[in-house]
Amino acid sequence: MLAGPQPFSLRLDRPLGPGFRAGALLSVQVLERLEAGRWLVSIRGRRIPVSAEVPLEPGARLLARVMASGGRILLRVTQPAAGPETTLAPAPAERIAAAFLAAGLNPRPEQVQKVRRLLERLRLPSQSHARLAVMLLQKGMDLDSPGVAELLADLAYGQSGGRGRRQARPWPGKPERLAEELRGHLRRSGGGQTAALPLFNHLQIHPEQWFVVPYDYGEVSGSIRLRRRSPAAEADRLVLTTDGPWSFVLNRKDAGYRLQAICAGTPGARAQRGWRRLAQKLQNLGVETDDTIRGDEGFDGFSLPGEAGVDTEG
């Protein structure tokens, strides 16, 4: 921990890339110590090695301003290092406001408070549930109605605060049976859901429409989330959430697709090897993949960090 409130700088080993203008304020999360004076941090979901003249604490969040000095980019920390439990972590209201902006809405104070009261009453984590609650408001649903808790449990199926998994079904074994088996199982899974879930998927909102389908498959459960930009458009994004630390985002890009892996926490060596093997197989099928696994800071289950109107996450 840094003793005292003195500001300090983080020196980057490589450029931040486009979208990081000088003077911008960023939330930086310290992930781990690499070696003496060097640390791995997360900025907008990207893992970046930095050098610091003071010791940092893994899990700490820092507020830093982008600075240019001698042709190099520095992050000038404007608040001292803080541990995971300090007030530098984004407040629920900030997460909720970011969820409104990611949905293309202006976060009016009274609506932010409605969502905040709902999440506090149901004891739901704001990172995974704020965007879902905002969608309920978009679709004209009353957040005080008794059925909202059940609907949110289905929408966040398999995640913390979501409905628990049903009995898992065996893996079909043969790849050619995968699509047929999955379609059948998605239909069977619908028997335990509330009647509000089909209504949620049916109600149209603008500027984009999301469809959420809970699933159980083998040892994995979660939800499939499809986005389309208009009623006549094809889906251009698929988000796959799981009951573990992993989520996957598949985007339609020009004539092909691009897949990104998102992990809560630092993935181990085995997970990274598995991702590289999967990425190679997908690339052979014409699907582009990110070289690195992104952190989940700022990921609300639908939008990636940087797509929202404000920067509230590291």
Q: Look at residue 188 in the predicted model and tell me its pLDDT.
A: 42
Q: Look at residue 129 in the predicted model and tell me its pLDDT.
A: 92
Mean pLDDT of 73-95: 59
Q: Which tops the pLDDT comparison, 81 or 219? A: 219
Q: Measured between alpha carbons, how far is 193 from 76 in angstroms, rounded to an integer?
A: 49
Look at residue 105 and tell me whether its pLDDT is greater than 90: no
User: Per-residue confidence at 1, pLDDT binned at 50, 70, 90?
Assistant: very low
Q: Measured between alpha carbons, how far is 49 from 199 in angstroms, rounded to an integer?
A: 46
Look at residue 139 and tell me whether its pLDDT is greater than 60: yes
Three-class DSSP category at 82:
coil
Look at residue 171 and tell me whether its pLDDT is greater than 60: no
Look at residue 161 and tell me whether its pLDDT is greater than 90: no
φ, ψ at 69 (rounded to 5°): -145, 120
User: Per-residue confidence at 2, pLDDT binned at 50, 70, 90?
Assistant: very low
Look at residue 58 and tell me whether its pLDDT is greater than 70: yes
Q: Measured between alpha carbons, how far is 32 from 122 in angstroms, rounded to an integer?
A: 33
Look at residue 191 and tell me whether its pLDDT is greater than 50: no
Mean pLDDT of 124-128: 87
Q: Look at residue 167 in the predicted model and tell me its pLDDT.
A: 44
Q: Look at residue 75 in the predicted model and tell me its pLDDT.
A: 84
User: Per-residue confidence at 87, pLDDT binned at 50, 70, 90?
Assistant: very low
Give this prediction's pTM.
Answer: 0.62
Sorted by where each starts, the structural domains of the chain and their CATH numbers stand as 8-77 (2.40.50)
Look at residue 186 and tell me whether its pLDDT is greater than 70: no
User: Per-residue confidence at 216, pLDDT binned at 50, 70, 90?
Assistant: confident
Q: Look at residue 163 in the predicted model and tell me its pLDDT.
A: 57
β-partners of residue 252 are 257
For 225, residues 6+ apart whose C-beta sits below 8 A from its C-beta are 210, 211, 212, 213, 238, 239, 240, 241, 301, 302
Q: Look at residue 185 in the predicted model and tell me its pLDDT.
A: 46
Q: Which tops the pLDDT comparison, 8 or 6? A: 8
Q: Measured between alpha carbons, how far is 60 from 45 in angstroms, rounded to an integer?
A: 15
Q: Measured between alpha carbons, how far is 176 from 261 in angstroms, rounded to an integer?
A: 24
User: Per-residue confidence at 215, pLDDT binned at 50, 70, 90?
Assistant: confident
Look at residue 69 and tell me whether its pLDDT is greater than 90: no
Q: Which of 62, 88, 87 is nearest to 77 (CA)?
A: 62
φ, ψ at 261 (rounded to 5°): -100, 140
Per residue in 242-299, pLDDT (tens digit) is 888 889 999 998 778 999 999 887 788 888 888 889 989 998 888 999 888 888 888 8
Q: What is the mean pLDDT of the chain?
A: 77
Q: Measured between alpha carbons, how far is 17 from 297 in angstroms, rounded to an integer?
A: 18
Out of 4-8, 69-73, 85-89, 210-214, give the one with best mean pLDDT.
Answer: 210-214
Q: Which tops the pLDDT comparison, 14 or 107? A: 107
For 45-49, 173-177, 198-202, 269-273, which range has the lowest pLDDT when averaged over its residues?
173-177
Mean pLDDT of 58-73: 73
